[in-house]
């Protein structure tokens, strides 16, 4: 399951001297230089991670000079020189597109300095570096791949690739004889792979304070990272016990009813949503996104769209969208 990168988490790795592995690498901030060779090395390192098992590269943590592969000092990059957008622009040249790519800037001491954590999921297609070779991370090394290894990676595409999109939507509902505008969080499962998705399970970590108490009866409440969340499990079938799973065809989608939101303010304050998808024999896919990046759609009747959005503290426990 996906974990959020924070300065505290990185400092814990440094303090515990956690060694590099197939899915974890430490790099100096100098590796993010503007020179062509530095850009090529960035692409090489990230594609090698994706071609292996996926993982994270932390830029801004030096290697221990005496014990290689162990973390040393934290020396951040200057935001005026290196930004998240600059890293994104370099990696945008990778083809095919990197799966589950996320770049997390972490402020260090002041707003002018930051560490960058580049995380990528295991790819279902082999990625080629700028020198036209294919690389794969093996423990502490990045090595060129053999022909059979490239074929094996491309065979990963022989399973469904299920993704999820989220929308905030405003609708009008009749509650106890009166019309009320309500807000919900809708989610859409899409199959972007070439294989039928027969069985899909989606875990969503949603902030407890933002969601309606009607969810309590159906979903677990857990504490993750010191925060109370709903651990919501959704499947590609209706909620009735006797209902059958609905297969998701390649290049098709299923839209699910929206989850009721009690407090839009609390939802925005929670900052992030985590989703983990499991489908058939496909590897687990995780995604973390900011609530501020989720689009809001006003689906009220035209004569009500001029009205303000529902208040943040509206009690919506009496309905389900």
- Domain containing 261 — which CATH number? 2.60.40
Which position has the higher pLDDT, 320 or 118? 118
Mean pLDDT of 93-118: 93
CB atoms within 10 A of CB 265: 13
Is the separation of the CB atoms in 118 and 87 below 8 Å?
yes
Per-residue pLDDT at 6: 95
- State the Cα–Cα distance between residues 91 and 45, nearest whole angstrom: 11
Cα–Cα distance measured from residue 140 to residue 64, given in angstroms and rounded to the nearest whole number: 14
Same domain for 152 and 184? no
Question: Which of these ranges, 139-148, 178-187, 252-261, 304-313, has the smallest mean pLDDT?
Answer: 304-313
| 167 and 144 in a common domain | no
Is pLDDT above 60 for 131?
yes
- pLDDT confidence bin for 118, thresholds 50/70/90: very high
Task: Work out the number of other CB atoms within 10 angstroms of the CB of residue 173.
Answer: 17
**What's the pLDDT band for 229 if we cut at 50, 70, 90?**
confident
143 and 28 in a common domain = yes
One domain for residues 207 and 126: no
Q: Are residues 96 and 194 in the same domain?
A: no
> Does residue 132 share a domain with residue 49?
yes
Q: Indicate the number of domains in the chain.
A: 2
**Considering 156, 185, 206, which residue would you say is the last residue of a domain?**
156
Distance CA 40, CA 129 (A): 7
**Residue 317: predicted pLDDT:** 33
Return d(Cα 255, Cα 238) in angstroms, integer.
11
Q: What is the pLDDT of residue 216?
A: 54
Residue 242 reports pLDDT greater than 70: no
Evaluate whether residue 144 is within a structural domain. Answer: yes
Q: What pLDDT does 321 receive? A: 30
Residue 54 has pLDDT above 70, yes or no: yes
* pLDDT at site 100: 85
Of 97 and 227, more confident? 97
Whether the bond between 96 and the residue before it is cis, its omega within 30 degrees of 0, is yes
Mean pLDDT of 287-312: 80
Question: In this predicted structure, what is the pLDDT of residue 13?
Answer: 96
Residue 318 has pLDDT above 50, yes or no: no
Residue 130: which of 33, 41, 32 has the closest Cα? 41
- Looking at residues 37-56, what average pLDDT do you find? 94
Once rounded to an integer, what is the mean pLDDT over residues 266-289? Answer: 82
pLDDT of res. 288: 81
Average pLDDT, the chain: 84
- 57 in a structural domain: yes
Lowest mean pLDDT among 99-103, 112-116, 204-208, 312-316: 312-316
Ranking 9-23, 107-121, 212-226, 306-320 by mean pLDDT, the lowest is: 306-320
pLDDT at 214: 66
Say whether both 46 and 167 belong to one domain. Answer: no
Per-residue confidence (pLDDT) for residue 236, from 0 to 100:
76
Mean pLDDT calculated for residue range 86-96: 93
259 or 313: which carries more pLDDT confidence?
259
The neighbouring-strand residues paired with 162 are: 191
131 and 19 assigned to the same domain: yes
60-76 mean pLDDT: 90
- Answer yes or no: pTM beyond 0.75: no
* Same domain as 177, residue 95: no
Task: Give φ, ψ of 270 to 5 degrees.
Answer: -70, -25
Write out the residue range of the structural domain in which residue 186 sits: 162-304
Question: Has residue 321 been placed in a domain?
Answer: no
């Amino acid at each position: 399951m996906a974990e959020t990168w924070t300065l505290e988490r990185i400092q814990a790795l440094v303090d515990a001297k956690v060694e590099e592995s197939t899915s974890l690498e430490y790099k100096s901030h100098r590796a993010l230089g503007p020179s062509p060779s530095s850009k090529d090395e960035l692409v090489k390192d990230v594609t090698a991670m994706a071609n292996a098992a996926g993982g994270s590269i932390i830029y801004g943590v030096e290697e221990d000079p005496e014990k290689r592969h162990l973390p040393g000092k934290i020396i951040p990059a200057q935001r005026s020189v290196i930004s998240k957008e600059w890293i994104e622009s370099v990696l945008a040249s990778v083809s095919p597109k990197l799966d589950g790519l996320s770049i997390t800037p972490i402020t260090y001491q002041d707003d002018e300095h930051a560490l960058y954590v580049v995380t990528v999921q295991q790819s279902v297609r082999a990625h080629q570096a700028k020198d036209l070779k294919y690389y794969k991370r093996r423990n502490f090394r990045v090595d060129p791949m053999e022909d059979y290894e490239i074929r094996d990676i491309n065979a990963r595409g022989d399973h469904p690739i299920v993704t999820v999109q989220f929308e905030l939507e405003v609708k009008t509902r009749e509650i106890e004889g009166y019309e009320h505008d309500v807000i919900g969080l809708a989610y859409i499962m899409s199959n972007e792979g070439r294989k039928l998705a027969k069985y899909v399970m989606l875990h969503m970590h949603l902030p407890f304070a933002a969601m309606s108490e009607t969810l309590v009866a159906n979903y677990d409440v857990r504490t993750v990272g010191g925060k109370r969340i709903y651990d919501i499990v959704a499947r590609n079938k209706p909620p009735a016990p006797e209902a059958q799973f609905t297969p998701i065809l390649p290049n098709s989608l299923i839209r699910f009813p929206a989850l009721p939101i009690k407090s839009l303010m609390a939802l925005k304050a929670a900052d992030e949503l985590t989703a983990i998808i499991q489908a058939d024999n496909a590897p687990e896919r995780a995604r973390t996104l900011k609530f501020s990046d989720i689009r809001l759609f006003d689906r009220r009747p035209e004569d009500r769209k001029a009205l303000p959005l529902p208040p943040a503290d509206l009690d919506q426990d009496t309905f389900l969208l």
